[in-house]
Structure 1
């Protein structure tokens, strides 16, 4: 499952990242979006890009194509 499939208010856990885009993956890791951390989708822009998530008390905006790199599992 990917981040872009979670609705507003939905929660999930980051399980890993797809290969490629090392610079972007490094930026997300520095912002606290590490494997195993839970997040919440706070807001999605009207056209679906970007998606804003809350991770460890911080808000991160993720573009739709970049969200495809993040592998997640839903959390109830």
Structure 2
């Protein structure tokens, strides 16, 4: 008789993997796509911009290529 695996649940809302669109697994924690969306909305409302992720701070493709060419 095959063992039944435990049903995975979102660590935030408690819904099972069968009740959500996607369930993302991490070490000892799971989060569903709905909770990810809600967290994103909360951060957007607070005007949170992750450091280093603005378009102005990203290197241009030419600069990326030049940097990679140094190693190849």
Tell me the TM-score normalised to structure 2 length: 0.19
Higher CA-based Rg? 2
Q: Identify the structure with bigger relative contact order (alpha carbons < 8 Å, sequence gap 6+).
A: 1
More strand by share: 1
More helix by share: 2
